Structure 1
Amino acid sequence: MAEFGAHLTSATAEDDKPTYFEVLAQEGLMSAIRPAMNYAFRVLAEQNPARYGWMSRFSNEIYLAIDLVLQQHFLTTTTASFSENFYGMKRVPNTCSSAPQVASPSGLPRREHLKSLLLLVIVPYLKIKLDALFERWKQEWLDGVGISQSERNTLKEVSRVYLAIYPYIHMGWEGAHLSYQLAYLFNKSRFHSPLIQLAGVRLQHLTREDMLEQMKPLESPFTQNASISERVKVFSKWLLGAVAIGVSNGLSVAVFFLQFLEWWYANESHRSAIALTALPVPDPPKKFKVESLPADSSICPLCFRKRTNDTAISTSGYVFCYPCIYMYVKSHKCCPITRYPTETEQLVKLYPPIS
């Protein structure tokens, strides 16, 4: 707690504003947790697909549920998100008055609480889904892979409009965050993010009273002299708080390993390429003879038509049409010529030079 001592004795309203590096650190904490958790789900799914495969498919939804419980608890008890509280910050209602605002012990006002919860949990989840939808439409629908011709005709106009507009929406999203951060860095704004301003709050350091309040243990529901319905309500609230504190303590203990997990996750593709070169050289094709391949090198070995969207397999070097090889590798997980294990990530599109 020593890092909080500098501002506890003589803090003004302006001095109580967190530094630029503090707000970046708390944002980086949550951005590191999601990919680390998704990577853990994927490892479990690869180890036992029958039992844990659903965790990889619904990793974003699982994270959404955990994040919702966690943020709801911390907004109610500490008037801050998990990461903000971890770095000694809290949210206070943003008013036009210059007097310092103190959050009530029961939490933020209801309106600011609901807006904070929405912008902390739901908006990032929707953004991730929109990004995934953009990538899926870009890779599959525009290339005609993975959907029927009727679906392609129906969704053609929708996908075209979405793929044309969404890059500008994404650029505006990132540009707005960058603008707010620069304004916050040069003391031109009290908000480091547009989501903070939309929530109607601003960040302040925790005070000594806030820290003492947070150190109080949870009140047990079994000591309440009340009716059964009130006991159930108190027990539900106590259980939710206990789960949130358990998750919080677990994340606090593991926070020092998050950067390592993030590095591990970010360098996965590089490690896969290194591991690929360490594999033994495959045996010559047994089921396919070289003579059975098309004599014309511009013909796809799968559809025996002139290739479109030339795509090579990095595991064998053979070149196919992108729709043909994508569907084949997605279904069979191997090269159709050498039978060498192959994933869709190992497909490399070839772009001929413009004549």
Structure 2
Amino acid sequence: MAEHGAHLTAELSASAGRLSIFEVVAQDTLMSAVRPAMHHLCKVLVESNPARYGFLWKWFDEFYAVMDFLLQRHYLARTSASFSENFYGLKRIPVGPRIWRLASYGLPRAQHWRSLLMIIAIPYVKVKLDRLFARLREEDDYAIHLPASSWKRLYKAFLAAYPFMNMSWEGWFLTYRLLYIFGKTPHHSPLLRAAGVRLGNLTPADLQSIEQRSTSRNKTPTSTSLVGKLTSFFANALGGAAVSLSTGVSVGIFFLQFLEWWYSSENQDTIKSLSSLPTPPPPVHLDKSTNDALPRLKTVCPLCNKIRTNDTALATSGYVYCYRCAYNYVKHHQRCPVTGYPSELQHLVKLYSPEA
């Protein structure tokens, strides 16, 4: 029923010339998954060589902001979209009475820089405030409380007010998404409204223009003057860095989604069912004489017929023996003494009684 409703929502949005809520939310969550992956990669590098990569951990937010700036500026200038929006075939369209232009020409100057501000600066400030709140709350819980002061009152006011500020922030975004679902606003996010743009699909003309302009840039002759050469060098270097970064992010996102699927609970259940040893059937092939030869008491070893010491089970059959008896027998015969099932030494499992 929910899937049927999702298809209806997508069809209504498409018929009205608007993107579905699922498309815009998917592109929003794409970059939010990249940051934790980069943070984990940075952590691995720092743990492997703290002296060389320690600065990455200390200045990770600034390092990530610079990389994000290069990546987003490249895509906004070339495709009129952020990286995640371009990944899903979307573009930013200026709102208002403006001249229609292809996505390859980029956004107007005002919308371009406002978009960069909303994409990079706002999330950077939000992350910094979250970390500041977490650090101050930890200090407030475990540190020694100093006498009251103006700084202490400001400190307490921030700790008391920030959870409500954060809730209002999330509620603001939720309100915009609900209004977007019901067609009351062309923006699914207040950040898009502040940037003066809305989202739309890339058209075939946009894709063709992007490809043509990319080809023409590669064929443009370089200037003979020193200034022209330096300008061309830095432009090509920044463009190459942005392209390399975007390619790396694209490949990283693929592997990130693969790892999320690989470590999902459903997939782990499937892996365990395929890789675990099958449960052996009961030894129905044993004849009556063999059954009679088994000890009557459960505490007696079937091999030495004495009270077991160091109880050890054989995983292939479930029978319990003395450790020394089971080890010597399996090592020489590679099978269970009672059932005859093929067994190895790694199938011996030491049992610990509750009294031990």
TM > 0.5 between the two? yes
Query: What is the correspondence of 1:1-355 to structure 2 with a 5 Å cutoff?
Result: 15-95=16-96, 101-103=100-102, 105-144=104-143, 149=146, 153=149, 155-215=151-211, 216-217=214-215, 219-220=217-218, 223-260=221-258
CA shift, 1:75, in A, is 0.8
Return the TM-score normalized by structure 1.
0.64
Return the TM-score normalized by structure 2.
0.64
What do the CA deviations read for 1:66-92 (whole angstroms, capped 9, x no partner)? 000001111111111000011001101
Partner SS, residue 224 of structure 1: coil
For the 8 Å contact 1:80–1:91, the answer to whether it is kept is yes
Q: What stretches of structure 2 of length at least 5 have no aligned partner? A: 1-12, 266-356
For the 8 Å contact 1:32–1:259, the answer to whether it is kept is no
CA distance in 1, matches of 2:210, 2:119: 21
CA distance in 2, matches of 1:72, 1:144: 43
- Higher-Rg member (1/2): 2
Partner SS, residue 202 of structure 1: strand
CA shift, 1:222, in A, is 8.2
CA distance in 1, matches of 2:259, 2:176: 29
CA distance in 1, matches of 2:249, 2:17: 26
Q: Which amino acid counterpart does residue 181 of structure 1 have in structure 2?
A: R
Aligned to 1:322: none
For the 8 Å contact 2:74–2:242, the answer to whether it is kept is yes
Number of residue pairs aligned between Structure 1 and Structure 2: 251
CA shift, 1:263, in A, is 8.0
Q: Which amino acid counterpart does residue 198 of structure 1 have in structure 2?
A: A
Q: Which amino acid counterpart does residue 116 of structure 2 have in structure 1?
A: L
For the 8 Å contact 2:103–2:210, the answer to whether it is kept is no
Cα separation, partners in 2 of 1:247 and 1:19, compared to 1, 3 Å: same
CA distance in 2, matches of 1:261, 1:68: 27
Note the aligned Cα RMSD (angstroms).
Answer: 2.9
CA shift, 1:201, in A, is 0.3
Cα separation, partners in 2 of 1:123 and 1:36, compared to 1, 3 Å: same
Q: Which amino acid counterpart does residue 45 of structure 1 have in structure 2?
A: V
Partner SS, residue 217 of structure 2: coil
CA distance in 2, matches of 1:210, 1:114: 21
CA shift, 1:253, in A, is 2.1
Partner SS, residue 217 of structure 1: helix
Q: Which amino acid counterpart does residue 49 of structure 2 have in structure 1?
A: N
For the 8 Å contact 1:218–1:238, the answer to whether it is kept is no
CA distance in 1, matches of 2:96, 2:107: 13
Aligned to 1:7: none
Q: What stretches of structure 1 of length at least 5 have no aligned partner? A: 1-11, 268-355
Cα separation, partners in 2 of 1:91 and 1:136, compared to 1, 3 Å: same
For the 8 Å contact 1:184–1:190, the answer to whether it is kept is yes
CA distance in 2, matches of 1:260, 1:155: 48
Partner SS, residue 44 of structure 1: helix
The worse-fitting range, judged by mean Cα deviation, of 105-114 and 218-227 is 218-227
For the 8 Å contact 1:32–1:262, the answer to whether it is kept is no
What do the CA deviations read for 1:84-107 (whole angstroms, capped 9, x no partner)? 01100110111168xx94356431
CA distance in 1, matches of 2:231, 2:61: 29
CA shift, 1:242, in A, is 1.4
CA shift, 1:54, in A, is 1.8
- Larger proportion of helix: 2
The worse-fitting range, judged by mean Cα deviation, of 42-51 and 23-32 is 42-51
Aligned to 2:325: none
CA shift, 1:226, in A, is 4.0
Cα separation, partners in 2 of 1:14 and 1:114, compared to 1, 3 Å: farther
Q: Which amino acid counterpart does residue 230 of structure 2 have in structure 1?
A: V
